[in-house]
Structure 1
Amino acid sequence: MGVQRLVAALVTALLAGCGSATAATGGPAPGAPSSPAPARSWPIGVRQLTVDPDGSRPLPVTVWYPASRAGPRDPVGLVGAATAGPVPMFGAPVAAGRFPVVVYSHGLRSLPELHAPLTTRWAAAGFVVVAPTYPRTNLHAPEFTRADVRNQPADGWRLIRHLTRLDTRRDDPLAGHLAVDRIAAAGHSAGGFTTAGMFTSGHSARLRAGIVIAGGGLAGGLAGRPAPLLFVHGGADPIVPESVGRAAYARATGPAAFLSLPGQGHGEYLAPDHPGFPQVLATTTDPPCLLLGVMTVRHIYA
């Protein structure tokens, strides 16, 4: 495929209406017509559940979701004042309709709630965001093990299977609200490597797209069924150099785009009061960018 046709394909599949990104040529990708971002923003509910609580790798999960109205205020501070954005309400009723799902993976010595400034905004845009707390790499892990990242893609798939079953349970508030055929994986740092590792040979068609933030490839990942991928990286990242992200980007088997944030480090651009956050937010929430063209405004609001 020629450069111009490749750029056109990327723009059509990934970047219409999005923030500035770098296409395969290394230059700015041209814009393309698209539907405007929706005017409404959902209130947000939050809940916690645990996958396989009695198993060898119990997986606590924080879920942010579009709510039909505000619920009682969360008395236990699942998110905290640092969110500086939509305020999730514990136990709020789920909004009517089915919503695409994003599996969000945290980095080393982190927690899902530390990523709430981004994930809550995704939920407010009309997505159910499910964020597992990985057993051996989270901030409070009693036996922290960096190498356990290699086991986390399987945890992500365990969570997807759990959500598929949960969607059919009449007694669960999320039942009937999860578009389990339209799932994306996203993550930061080690969570970005985890995300890449979920795209293995023969992976389920349920996983439609991925967003790798300050991460790179993982053994066995970025293979199999082609899926649109977005890579986000700080140009001055001292922990995972941008070259690592670009090497993974070069391995993508389907449509891909690379959003480079010049001068930015490992993840400060995920905080609302830092440069780069507006670009990341625009690239991942202006339809049809989040899920990279797989889920357009028509899909989300149908």
Structure 2
Amino acid sequence: MRVQRLVAALVTALLAGCGPATTAAPGPSTSQPAPQRAYAVGMRQFVVDPGGTRPLPVTVWYPVEPAAQPAPAATAPGPALTRLAAPAAAPSPGPPEVRPGAPVAAGRFPVVIYSHGLHSLPELHAPLTTRWAAAGFVVAAPTYPRTNLRARDFSRADVRNQPADGWRLIRHLIRLDARRGDPLAGHLAVNRIGAAGHSAGGFTTAGMFTSGHPARLRAGIVIAGGGLAGSFAGPVAPLLFVHGSADPIVPESVGRAGYARVLGPAAFLSLPGQGHGEYLTPGRPGFAQVLAATIDFLRWTLYDDRAALRRLPIDAQLPGTTALTSRLPR
């Protein structure tokens, strides 16, 4: 009973101020190695179950071929923290080129479900999610019905329903991948799916990893969040936690408690002295390390890129800015 009261209290603290299932047969595997260069990014929006009781608007960012550019003059190498893979060229430190409605690049790409926090929207997380798409992932971000910035009937308690919304979106994407004529058809590696989210979205992400979840959900990233009742059960999937040590909304101890509950490979990236998410803003301390660590983690778990796993401890750490605790394989 004490544990249940503690979980309820933690969720209440979370919801006070967040800022910006059945097992199916495996789908087609990604048939290409992890990308060695950055993509431009396409964007598409649709609504899952528009006539249902919980319509779910979704923003999707996905890899597209960049527009032809003149050959650049020779320059010094970019920072190692932003590279995609050795010996790949470093991507631009600026935001990726986004082209709404552009055709998806050739190939199949792993999928990441990204969940926003309270009083937030998918587009407020675009500095992170578009860079993931440029790294070779399809990022699908739902706008949750009762916790988004524009919700007319806002309800903190509705977070408990959002893991099911995430799975509803996954099922919809599986159908789109098989739907002839859909722009995403044949481009989604629907047996290689990750989930990620910030704050209430981090709790939502954890809530998708309950006992017996389909094995197609292969990895999770919990940013400024923690676990819900039943989280982090099998099948085993690697988890990466990202948390500011001075977070006033969700204390770092909540994230570390979730990290301690993970049965399989896990890592915890702490940002000393930082709060609830300023490290998700380009140019702020820690952004480069969070971006590099999350891309390394997704490349390892969703592309089976062992080189990315080896890079992750190096890319994630900058003395005085980040600190990594890891139970990842070597």
Q: Within the alignment, does 1:50 sit opposite 2:23 as a pair?
A: no
User: Kindly tell me: are residues 55 and 193 of structure 1, through their superposed partners in 2, closer, same or farther at Cα, counting changes over 3 Å?
Assistant: same
**Residues 70, 89 of structure 1: 8 Å contact kept:** no
| 2:148 equivalent in structure 1 | 138
Helix, strand or coil at the partner of 1:85: coil
Residues paired across the two proteins, number: 251
In the alignment, is residue 62 of structure 1 matched against residue 59 of structure 2?
Answer: yes
CA drift of 1:87 comes to 3.0
CA contact (8 A) 1:137 1:144 kept: yes
Equivalent of 2:286 in 268, 273, 276: 276
Q: Is the 8 A contact 2:117 2:200 kept in 1?
A: yes
User: What SS does the aligned partner of 2:191 have?
Assistant: strand
**Per-residue deviation, 1:84:** 5.7
Give the letter aligned to residue 290 of structure 1. Answer: L
Aligned-partner Cα distance in 1 for 2:122–2:67: 21
The percentage of aligned residue pairs carrying the same residue is 77
Q: Partner of 1:296 in structure 2? A: 304
Q: How does 1:41-190 map to 2 (within 5 A)?
A: 41-70=38-67, 85-190=95-200
Partner of 2:13: none
Write the letter of the residue equivalent to 2:304.
T
- The answer to whether the 8 Å contact 2:110/2:302 transfers is no
- Do 1:44 and 1:88's aligned partners in 2 also have CA atoms closer than 8 Å? yes
**Equivalents in 2 of 1:210, 1:118: separation in Å?**
15
Letter of the structure 2 residue corresponding to residue 106 of structure 1:
H
After superposition, where does 1:6-45 map in structure 2 within 5 Å? Answer: 39-45=36-42
Cα separation, 1, equivalents of 2:111 and 2:215: 14
Secondary structure of 2:178's partner? coil
Q: Provide the rounded CA distance (Å) in 2 between the counterparts of 1:145 and 1:283.
A: 33
Mapped partners of 1:299, 1:184: distance in 2: 19
Q: Which amino acid aligns with 1:215?
A: G
The RMSD of aligned alpha carbons is 2.0
CA contact (8 A) 1:45 1:70 kept: no
Which moves more between the two structures, 272-281 or 176-185? 272-281
In structure 2, runs of 5+ residues without a counterpart are 1-33, 69-92, 309-330
> How far off its partner does 1:193 sit?
0.1
Q: Residue deviations 1:75-118, cap 9 Å, x none?
A: xxxxxxxx961131111110000000000000000000000000
Question: What is the distance in 2 between the residues matched to 1:70 and 1:92?
Answer: 11
